[in-house]
């Protein structure tokens, strides 16, 4: 009986083993739901260039912006589960279905492959705000929050979520002013039309160095190499606060496990290459390279936390 069982298991494994050895036999399409030329597009092309050397096939970046990234994400959700269509996405993957009616489920319709990177945002205030630390900002908002505004790059965006999480944890009030991009948001922060904002550390750095805005802390769990003297929000007055922008790679649900493992292994190896790592770090994107199991657990937690935060803050899609 044991011999029969062993023979059966070996026989069943043969097609999967052959599949992993043969894959890929043609170009791979990597859908990026952002405009060409932006920071996410840059990192996606950096990763694609390194990955195709390992796979032996072209990895073609296909920019599909629109619908708060949902257009591109939906393309991958309904693509054949054969490893030839992948998604290179950000936290909107988790927040979108909680804000809008979507034709996909982030947990049921996708197979996580690996987390590519994280990006840290920085907490900024207008120079007329007297606070010099997170603790002082919280105290100032407790008195002045009713007339204070904060900027975001859109409803449900990471910058919106970061500020709402800050409000909830600190027990303060601020009014939300959404913008179509960070450029206009920081112009209004400098001018004093908004008093508080979270922004990409890389984007905000020139304005911080020129003292046009004041940086109080970084939102992530660790300090940022671009501003090493700046504490985290948790260090500076709000223990337990942590927010990062992540980028991850997904395949459609049902993609064969050997293909998923091959992609995960090769992407992680790509992220360990010195040249690739440095290009991502220079773009203020810290390489991660998690296993399939680690990234799957991460995504489940992220989707749950995003839904809970949006519900508690009563944030709805526009």
Round to whole Å and give the CA distance between 298 and 294.
6
What is the average per-residue pLDDT within 252-281?
A: 97
Long-range contacts of 106-111 (CB under 8 A, 24+ apart): 106/299, 106/303, 107/299, 107/300, 107/303, 108/253, 109/77, 109/78, 109/252, 109/253, 110/76, 110/77, 110/250, 110/251, 110/252, 110/253, 111/81, 111/250, 111/251, 111/252, 111/253, 111/254, 111/255, 111/260
Round to whole Å and give the CA distance between 318 and 316.
6
Residue 15, pLDDT score: 54
- Position 10 confidence tier, pLDDT thresholds 50, 70, 90: low
Residue 91, pLDDT score: 93
Residue 318 has pLDDT above 70, yes or no: no
Q: Residues spanned by CATH 3.40.190.10 within the chain?
A: 121-236
Instruction: For the chain, give the number of residues.
Output: 318
Residue 315, pLDDT score: 84
Q: What is the pLDDT of residues 278-304, one digit of tens each?
A: 999 999 899 999 999 999 999 999 999
Residue 273, SS3?
A: coil
Instruction: Decide if domain 27-117+245-312 falls under CATH 3.40.190.150.
Output: yes
Residue 19, pLDDT score: 54
Most distant pair of Cα atoms in the chain: their distance:
80
Cα torsion for 173, 178, 181, 182, to the nearest 10°? -20
Q: What is the pLDDT of residues 116-174, one digit of tens each?
A: 999 999 999 999 999 999 999 999 999 999 999 999 998 888 999 999 999 999 999 99
Residue 9 has pLDDT above 80, yes or no: no
Record the pTM.
0.86
Q: What is the pLDDT of residues 220-247, one digit of tens each?
A: 999 999 999 999 999 999 999 999 899 9
Q: What is the pLDDT of residues 186-215, one digit of tens each?
A: 999 999 999 999 999 989 999 999 999 999
Q: Residues spanned by CATH 3.40.190.150 within the chain?
A: 27-117+245-312
Domain range 121-236, CATH architecture? 3-Layer(aba) Sandwich (3.40)
């Amino acid at each position: 009986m044991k011999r029969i069982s062993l023979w059966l298991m070996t026989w069943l494994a043969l097609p999967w083993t052959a599949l992993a050895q043969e894959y890929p036999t043609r170009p791979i399409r990597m859908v990026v739901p952002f405009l060409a030329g932006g920071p996410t597009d840059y990192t996606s092309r950096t990763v694609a260039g390194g990955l195709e050397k390992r796979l032996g096939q072209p990895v073609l970046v296909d920019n599909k912006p629109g619908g708060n990234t949902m257009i591109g994400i939906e393309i991958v959700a309904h693509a054949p589960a054969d490893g030839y269509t992948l998604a290179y996405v950000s936290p909107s993957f988790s927040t979108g279905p909680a804000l809008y009616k979507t034709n996909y489920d982030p947990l049921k319709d996708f197979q996580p492959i690996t987390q590519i990177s994280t990006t840290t945002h920085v907490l900024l205030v207008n120079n007329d705000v007297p606070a010099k630390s997170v603790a002082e900002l919280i105290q100032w908002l407790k008195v002045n929050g009713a007339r204070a505004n904060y900027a975001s790059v859109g409803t449900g965006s990471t910058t919106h979520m970061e500020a709402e999480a800050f409000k909830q944890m600190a027990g303060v009030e601020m009014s939300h002013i959404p913008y179509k991009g960070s450029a206009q948001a920081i112009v209004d922060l400098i001018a004093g039309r908004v008093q508080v904002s979270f922004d990409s550390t890389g984007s905000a750095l020139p304005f911080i160095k020129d003292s046009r805005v004041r940086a109080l802390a970084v939102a992530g769990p660790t300090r940022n190499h671009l501003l090493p003297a700046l504490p985290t929000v948790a260090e500076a007055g709000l223990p337990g606060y942590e927010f990062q922008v992540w980028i991850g790679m997904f395949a459609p649900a049902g993609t064969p496990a050997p293909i998923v493992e091959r992609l995960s292994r090769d992407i992680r190896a790509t992220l360990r290459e010195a040249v690739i790592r440095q290009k991502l770090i220079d773009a203020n994107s810290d390489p991660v390279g998690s296993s399939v199991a680690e990234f799957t657990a991460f995504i489940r937690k992220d989707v749950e936390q995003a839904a809970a935060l949006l519900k508690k803050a009563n944030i709805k899609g526009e």
